[in-house]
Amino acid sequence: MKLSCLQANLNRGLGIVGRAVATRTTLPITNNVLIATDQSRLKLVATNLEMAISYWTGAKVEEEGTVTVPARLLTEFVNSLPNDNIDISLTPKSKTLNLKCARFEARISGIDSKDFPPIPKVDEGITTRIEIEAFRQAIDHVAFAAATEESRPVLTGVDAQFDKDVLTLAAADGFRLAVYKLPLTAPVSAKAEIIIPARTLAELKRLLPEKDETKPETKDVKTPEGHWVKAPENNDKVVDITVNSTKGQILFRFKTKNEQIAKKLKNLVDQGKITQDQADNDKDLFDNIELVSQLIQGSFPQYGQLIPTSHTTRVVVDVAEFLGATKTASIFARDGSGIVRLMIAPGSGKSGELAISARSEEIGDDEGKIDAVVEGTEAKIAFNGKYLSDVLSVLKESQIALETTSPSSPGVLRPVGTDNYVHVVMPMFVQW
């Protein structure tokens, strides 16, 4: 192996795949990162046996090769180097990786890549495509509601139902339920349901590129089935998803703009040395990323019947005001089992008031009131303050509706102005 690449590119790649490096393992080689050449590009791979992340970036490759080296050691060394070219070579017999950057040199003992766990190939099965920003919002809205305890493994995952051009994500931990629907830009050929580990989606969200405001927005296109969906103008705004035929693994594939290369290409365009089309088609302009994860086996609860279909009281409030009052009440709720009390009082017409309070016998109490639009009768209900804050914190809408039936029945939260998200929270039993 003999190649050279930018320090910034290698540092970024190690930071990305490093999320999949095993921390506690009985297989020491999973503490390593695989370094390889692949079609004149640099490839980095890390796995913890449950999830694997692969990263490709531009490099000047002179000799092909592959090796694995300790991930933490390599990452810390590369991170300390100046932003310059790094020359990388491999001594085949000793499996020593040699790195040289400016006036710095290092030699790191490696292990033959043949001993590295094979990364599952997911290239056949259910395939679809989804817009990155929509997917990010969906993960935000559901992943936090998944269980963290392993007593019921299926609840540590997010249920994903693919049906034509719609993906429905749902998560529950026994005390709350979040359900979010979003469009697919490529319809699936057959209906399918899988359970994706919530940890996988959390890592995927960290990898997804931020929205580029300078690029064209999505456009409405009609699918063969006659459904209108949002389709991005550029492939770098989508995530390709493949679920293997046995529903054992899932693959997410996408690309992110390489800012270092983008700046160089922009300078060349400004100087008139290349055209904008040539810059956009440069193979090194984007870094490719793949994440492969094991799926959770089992049956997710039939949550449809857990969502109340009727209510006696509906209150609409400002999300920011509701969140602020909830956080304030939660300060006093810490010593009171986290209980936050809500009292809904109708006013004249549909106007009214929502009182948010908490009390602790040892430290005191708190009450805040916000304006509300109330339909129905007076009501009171108590929730865990953290559960309320969690859902209110992810909403992009300005208003939210809370629907209740009784103090002992679940409360339903729905953003006003959209019908693709519903959040159900179980009440806390308190002495009023």
Rounded CA separation 157/201 (Å)? 9
What mean pLDDT is predicted for residues 30-41? 95
Q: What's the pLDDT at 228?
A: 52
* CB 70 within 8 Å of CB 107: no
Q: What's the pLDDT at 420?
A: 95
Say yes or no to pLDDT of 91 above 80: yes
DSSP character string of 242-301? EEETTSSEEEEEEEEE-HHHHHHHHHHHHTTSS-HHHHHT-TTSEEEEEEEEEPPPS---
Q: Which single residue is written with the structure tokens 């790191």?
A: 108
Q: What's the pLDDT at 216?
A: 47
Comparing 218-222, 293-297, 324-328, the range with the smallest average pLDDT is: 218-222
The pLDDT-based confidence of 32 (bands split at 50, 70, 90) is very high
**β 313-318/364-376 pair status:** antiparallel
Q: What's the pLDDT at 235?
A: 55
35 Cβ neighbours under 8 A, 6+ residues apart: 1, 42, 43, 44, 66, 67, 68, 69, 88, 97
Question: What are the tokens at 395?
Answer: 């909403």
What mean pLDDT is predicted for residues 41-65? 95
**β 157-163/249-257 pair status:** unpaired
What mean pLDDT is predicted for residues 302-315? 94
The pTM score is 0.89
Please list the residues that pair with 101 across neighbouring strands: 104
* CB 71 within 8 Å of CB 18: yes
What mean pLDDT is predicted for residues 295-317? 95
Comparing 20-34, 120-134, 262-276, the range with the smallest average pLDDT is: 262-276
Which helix (H) or strand (E) segment holds residue 360: the answer is: strand 351-360
Nearest to 414 by CA among 198, 184, 230, 180: 180
Question: What are the tokens at 155?
Answer: 């609840």
3-state secondary structure of 173: coil
76 Cβ neighbours under 8 A, 6+ residues apart: none
Question: 351-367 pLDDT, tens per residue?
Answer: 899 999 998 877 888 99
* CB 314 within 8 Å of CB 344: no
Question: 196-248 pLDDT, tens per residue?
Answer: 999 999 999 999 987 654 444 455 555 545 555 554 444 568 999 999 999 99
Q: What strand order describes the sheet that includes 60-63?
A: 60-63, 2-6, 85-91, 96-101, 104-109
Please list the residues that pair with 32 across neighbouring strands: 70
C-alpha dihedral sign at 197, 201, 202, 207: positive
The pLDDT-based confidence of 274 (bands split at 50, 70, 90) is confident
Rounded CA separation 80/302 (Å)? 51
What mean pLDDT is predicted for residues 38-65? 95
Nearest to 236 by CA among 276, 288, 275, 167: 288
Rounded CA separation 166/40 (Å)? 38
* CB 36 within 8 Å of CB 45: yes
DSSP 8-state assignment for residue 341: E
Q: What's the pLDDT at 220?
A: 58
* CB 41 within 8 Å of CB 61: yes
Question: 124-161 pLDDT, tens per residue?
Answer: 899 999 999 999 999 999 999 999 998 899 999 999 99
